[in-house]
Structure 1
């Protein structure tokens, strides 16, 4: 399958890099014009770069450079292309449906006065029956023109002033949520985003039964004994691990009630980026030295409980940031969402929802981290630490390990049972 007809604009859409190259300048000209990104008297006259990128969890990606017959200010020549499909990797290809909301969001982001910075969309369309789509945007010039270097997830020790960067990140997420709830965004576009909280995820988790959960908890205990260097002492204590055996099954038992609480708090439902971590952001300072943040990679964008978005933004942060700034960042989110015209979230409820959602994500997705590390690093021993290059240089190990650390640390310091007790 090289080409399909997009559902939104009715144009042929390339499914692969090879198809895009074959379509060439004519395809890009027609696509950009149809999307409103190029005037009728202008055209793409040459492709000067079409270079495939590796990485990411879904789809193939390209760096695309073009020339126009009439160059204009703001008409960028350095572009980024994202395909929904990866026909050579069935695992990555399973994530193809994530692009469906991204295409709608691309149209929404072209709304005049859109409240946050996103990579300017040039074309986007999607064929739902096959899950085939393409997104073309301006490229973020990391490290140039005042934009800071790109930061990798869970390597915040390389970032200057992480607390300042997370404030900018939380501000951007909250401003979009507040603007959406203010009613200032086009209703015909925002209505296309469902409120389906469980759909805001990458892939389908294996069914979690009580027996499976008990086995995972037992494996976590054994992992802590064999690899004390990989998790902090406070979350390895026998007393805390024993408490997990009591509380984690209760989280699983109350799963439906947790999802119901997240769904039924209307003032906390808004259009949000689900995974606004630092690797999906870029940062720059204005003339007054104030740090600002733009957000990219909008897979799974939808209307959700804002606690889910706040966890997505902070889940990879170091535990020291949670200890020192969690309450401040919750308050900042509430202030900024209200300032953007939305309802003001209840800070205590937002904090409770985040902890409950964190607990669900922890038992569903992150308790398999010990098994993953055991498979990938069979020679890991008692002194192996997160600084081991095999972990630090591999995001598929580094990030889940940091997120598991955060789940366990917050479970211990913030508690979960009290938040469960507050459920109806």
Structure 2
């Protein structure tokens, strides 16, 4: 209690004449099993009492820290992901800064900040915020403005049917408002490094376009993308074949998938650079806005709205390029039915907030190109996470992605289900298109052919 008082006074989130008098409870959240509370590090909920209770002070607080470099996952240790999050960027400091400086001015709700600190020499940090009071698991009804139960990551099939698509419209509207307010300069008083400026792609006019790559370099990338195609299709069609629907493991579909990854993967750097050609499509974005990084409620009219959490990696980005961190969490059937409507929803909200009118056809093109990059990302994590944590021998006896051996590893759970969702969506569109090339492959081919004529090599 004494330490919390000192911390909150330092952060000026607690009045000088007030104090934390008691820590009533401390609850560590699971780091493994189906109930794991995310993959960014160990977390806890603490309940406190204040000397002077105030409606503006929260008694339930959420605490977030990095993975330890030693010890079991159950005890908060994961050296691989500690290096991934703490040594390859500055997302932890940046998340703390966003809660502190941008949270109060965002155009939607986000948990109140109480304290954060980071040690630069060893990258240890702590973040304390208001604890969101989600509804009870299994709760079937709620009052207006009462938080619904947490939507578990990539498990939308557990939710009531209408929520499986309504959530993503709420998320898309929030992202559109966020980008629009950034375009209007509302966040400019906050230093750029706090807003992830260092993660932003080079601005238009500072790079060559079309890109011109030496033949040897392009051939090297083709070999790399061919390997990624092999990794992804081998995992789905062989290693974990029992865990995926037969539609997704058929030879013809996997061949179409491999052809897309192999050809388009050789141009992933060019695709990323292409996104920078559209400054009106770039604004501050939440890069990991899956449904579990939001909290939802219905207003008095039954309309769904949301607040956002977990801000690591937020930065000015092309708005279409981050959709694979959000709407791809939907079930494949849902995404196939709603992807065009979700793009239209973003376009309308963005126009309403900042006056920039995106071209819907161009939005769809960039969405498809983003999905090409997403497949490469999934293949990379098959190798980096899935095969590292669950060995091929184990997969022989695993018949469901809900098996504890998958679900107990946060990253295995995430990436294996991400593959399931993405491939279901792609398969639906592949069937609708006559079982030829993937629809995103068609988009890529059209894009590539056009720019090759303009000098892309």
Q: TM-score, normalised by structure 1?
A: 0.82
- C-alpha distance in 2, partners of 1:129/1:107? 22
Bigger drift between 406-415 and 355-364 goes to 406-415
3-state SS of the aligned residue for 1:271? strand
Query: Which residue of the partner structure matches residue 308 of structure 1?
Result: 321
Question: Within 2, Cα distance between the matches of 1:191 and 1:389?
Answer: 40
Runs (4+) of structure 1 exceeding 6 A deviation are none
Q: What's the CA shift for 1:138?
A: 0.4
Task: Give CA-to-partner distance per residue, 1:30-80, whole Å, 9 cap, x none.
Answer: 332333322222222222223333323233322222211111112101101
Query: Which of 400, 407, 420 is residue 405 of structure 1 equivalent to?
Result: 420
Q: Compare 376-385 and 256-265 and name the one that shifted more.
A: 376-385
Worse-superposed segment, 359-368 or 249-258: 359-368
Gap change, CA 1:213 and 1:191, over 3 Å in 2? closer
Deviation of residue 389 (structure 1)? 5.6
Say whether 1:148 aligns with 2:140.
no
Q: Does 1:108 align with 2:95?
A: no
Instruction: Report the Cα offset of residue 265 of structure 1.
Output: 1.4
Alpha carbons 2:24, 2:46 under 8 Å: kept? yes
The residue aligned with 2:23 is 47
CA contact (8 A) 1:106 1:124 kept: no
Partner of 1:163: 165
- Give yes or no for contact 2:347–2:360 (8 Å, CA) kept in 1: yes
5 Å matches for 1:16-415? 24-25=1-2, 27-55=3-31, 56-88=38-70, 89=77, 90-94=79-83, 95-96=85-86, 97-112=90-105, 114-143=106-135, 146-160=146-160, 161=162, 162-190=164-192, 192=194, 193-194=196-197, 196-197=199-200, 210-226=222-238, 228-341=241-354, 343-366=356-379, 369=382, 372=386, 375-376=390-391, 378=393, 380=395, 384-386=399-401, 388=403, 390-391=405-406, 395-411=410-426, 413=429, 414-415=439-440
The answer as to whether partners of 1:37 and 1:122 remain within 8 angstroms in 2 is: yes
Deviations 1:350-405 (A, max 9, x none): 22222222222312333653893694463545992445565467653343123223
Secondary structure of 1:214's counterpart equals: helix
- TM-score of the pair, normalised by structure 2: 0.76
CA contact (8 A) 2:173 2:349 kept: yes
Q: What are the Cα deviations for residues 301-356 of structure 1, in whole angstroms up to 9, with x where unaligned?
A: 11111123322111221101111111111111111122222633332222222222
Q: Specify whether residues 340 and 363 from structure 1 end up closer, same or farther in structure 2 by C-alpha distance, changes over 3 A only.
A: same
Distance 2:260 2:303 in 1: 43
Distance 2:400 2:93 in 1: 39
CA contact (8 A) 2:372 2:440 kept: no
- How far off its partner does 1:245 sit? 4.0
SS of 1:76's equivalent in the other structure is: coil
In structure 2, distance between residues paired with 1:85 and 1:229? 32
Question: Does the 8 Å CA contact 1:178/1:270 hold for their aligned counterparts?
Answer: yes
Residue 271 (structure 1) shift: 0.8
Cα separation, 2, equivalents of 1:367 and 1:102: 25
1:181–1:343 Cα contact (<8 Å) kept: no
In 2, Cα distance between equivalents of 1:130 and 1:221: 39
Structure 2 residue runs of 5 or longer lacking an equivalent are: 32-37, 71-76, 137-142, 203-219, 430-438, 452-457
Q: Give the C-alpha shift of residue 249 in structure 1.
A: 2.7
Q: CA deviation at 1:251?
A: 2.0
Contact 1:176-1:272 within 8 A present in 2 as well = yes
Q: 1:69 to 1:360 in 2, by over 3 A?
A: same
Per-residue deviation, 1:132: 2.7
Could you say which residue in structure 2 is the equivalent of 1:17? Answer: none
| Partner Cα distance (2:200, 2:103) in 1 | 25
Distance apart, 1:276 and its partner CA: 0.8
For 2:354, what is the secondary structure of its paired residue? coil
Offset at residue 219 of structure 1 (A): 4.8
**RMSD between superposed Cα atoms in Å:** 3.0
Change in CA separation of 1:372 and 1:110 when aligned onto 2, cut-off 3 Å: closer
Unaligned segments of structure 1, at least 5 residues? 1-23, 200-207
- Equivalent-residue separation in structure 2 for 1:252 and 1:366 (angstroms): 11
| Alpha-carbon distance change, 76 to 415 in structure 1, aligned in 2, over 3 angstroms | same
SS of 1:135's equivalent in the other structure is: strand
Out of 360-369 and 95-104, give the one that drifted further.
360-369
